[in-house]
Copies of this chain bind each other. A is one copy, B any other.
Amino acid sequence: MSNLDKVLDRIDQNLDQSLDRLFELLRIKSISTDPEYKGDCREAAEWMARELTAIGIPSEVRDTTGHPMVVGHRVADGKPGPHVLFYGHYDVQPVDPIELWNADPFDPQIVTRKDGSKMIVARGANDDKGQLMTFVEAVRAWVEETGDVPINISVLLEGEEESGSPSLQPFLDANKEELSKDLALVCDTSMWDKDTPAISVMLRGLVGEEITLKGPSKDLHSGMYGGAARNPLHVLSDMVAGLRDENGSITLPGFYDDVPELPEDVKEMWQNLGFSTEEFLGGIGLKDLGGEKDRSGLEQIWARPTCEVNGLWGGYTGAGFKTVIPAEAHAKVSFRLVGDQDPEKIREAFRSYLKSKTPADFELELHPHGGDRALRMDFDAPALAKGRAALSAEWDKPAALVGCGGSIPIVGSFKRTLDMDSLLIGFGLDEDQIHSPNEKYELKSFHKGIRSWARVLEELAK
């Protein structure tokens, strides 16, 4: 029996204990965007450092001006393969609307379906606690079974991924030498479908802006002032509505200047993935594609930029009616970027547009959010081939090379600051409701995810 087979056996036998540990982590309410949970974020960081140290990756909690980082290293001379830096995040999204959860988001449950399949339900079950623990448990199995791991491993876990990662860049800058390894392993992405593993080779970028539009100096009675006083909610609606034309294209001048067409071979691979718009949209209660009219569904989510209003509010939002003209209106708007789109250029185009639409007697306040370019992995990189081989062996199916509609800012930071490529392997499913009520992670994803990483660690050592 090979070392790998023994490690895989051990993973199978210890699955319950692996789950127990994951549940411990899921119970910690590490919502990074809400200051009320600051202590919980630190608790999650400390928990991670203890666990990593326990499996032979001596780790420590490192303070930042925000939530702390967890950093650890297990290095020995003369090991083959790349020295990898594994990245994950221990923070989670807020849980609102809480009333739509079937159970307490921080009381993880195993739910068994009629067909016998099981899922782990909790905030963070997938994003990213469930995912990052697949790697941790794989390392544990290697160390417990063989006394070592095949390659040198460093770990970096952050606690602000769901709130814009404000401390990450300064931390990378300050610890460049310590963190610059040969390759980053990132576990924060999805499989193609429940049977087909995937490596994400294209990531959209992101740039966001929070808008406060101030009109009258106070809320007004719409009877007394309605008609004469301009309504900030009308103006903001105009701004949002004007961002798209009738074909679903974004109207900002120059928006598409740096958006490349897809290479023919990638286009073909995507066509053969058997993507069904009907199923994709059917799963979220929709029927019709909402983006650019002449683009396929996969292109719309992976290879085309977009603009989304993530939040909009103003005026009276309680029960009943209050005939008020609000003094202010607010929106959070973000753009997903592709190709060579420059976040700051897009931000400037957006700000110019908003300014041009702001009435002379109104005030416009803007607060930037995010600012990450899109990323593409080199299709010929050796690590990519090794990752595909390991995944294909575990899942008995060739791993798909896919795009990813969301940005994973860390990948850009690793590239920019540490000149390090990232191998993006994850075991989530699109249906996992990350960021939504009843977030879940397939038990199969967790189990075979651990096994997959065990194989990747060996494959990279070859």
Q: Please give the residue numbers on chain A whose beta carbons come within 8 Å of chain B beta carbons, in ascending order.
A: 33-35, 93-94, 96, 100, 162-164, 190, 204, 206, 208, 210, 215-231, 233-234, 236-238, 240-244, 277, 280-281, 284-292, 297, 300-301, 304, 306, 308-326, 329-330, 332, 334, 336, 359-361, 369-370, 404-407, 430, 433-437
Contact = CB atoms under 8 A, between A and B. Distances in A.
Contact of A321 (B210, B230, B301, B405): B210
Contacts of A206: 223, 323
A324 B435 contact: yes
Given A34-B320, A222-B306, A288-B361, 10 more contacts: A33-B320, A217-B285, A221-B405, A221-B435, A224-B430, A228-B291, A229-B284, A231-B290, A311-B315, A313-B317
A425 B242 CA distance: 45
B163 A320 contact: yes
A296 B440 CA distance: 59
A288 B322 contact: no
B433 A308 contact: no
Most chain B beta-carbon contacts within 10 A, residue among A94, A100, A316, A318: A316
A435 B219 contact: yes
7 contacts: A94-B316, A220-B435, A224-B430, A226-B306, A227-B292, A323-B334, A323-B435
A221 B309 contact: no
Contact of A297 (B217, B228, B370, B405): B228
B241 A404 contact: no
A326 to B, nearest CB: 8
B284 A310 contact: no
A405 B223 contact: yes
Contacts of A404: 223
Contact of A332 (B306, B321, B330, B407): B321
A316 to B, nearest CB: 4
B309 A233 contact: yes
A323 B217 contact: no
Nearest to A361: B287
A33 to B, nearest CB: 4
Nearest to A97: B219
B224 A309 contact: no
Nearest to A304: B227
A228 to B, nearest CB: 5
B233 A286 contact: no
A291 to B, nearest CB: 4
Given A231-B308, A288-B359, A310-B316, A406 B224 contact: yes
A390 to B, nearest CB: 25
Contacts of A217: 284-286
B325 A310 contact: yes
A234 to B, nearest CB: 6
Contacts of A433: 218
A354 to B, nearest CB: 14
Contacts of A234: 240-241, 243-244, 308-309
Contacts of A281: 228-229, 361
A321 B310 contact: yes
Nearest to A33: B320
Contacts of A231: 290, 308-309
Contact of A96 (B301, B318, B329): B318
A222 B334 contact: yes
Most chain B beta-carbon contacts within 10 A, residue among A223, A289, A297, A433: A223
Nearest to A208: B321
Contacts of A242: 241
A300 B231 CA distance: 14
Contact of A287 (B238, B360, B407): B360
Pairs A-B, 3 closest by C-beta atoms:
A223-B406, A217-B285, A230-B290
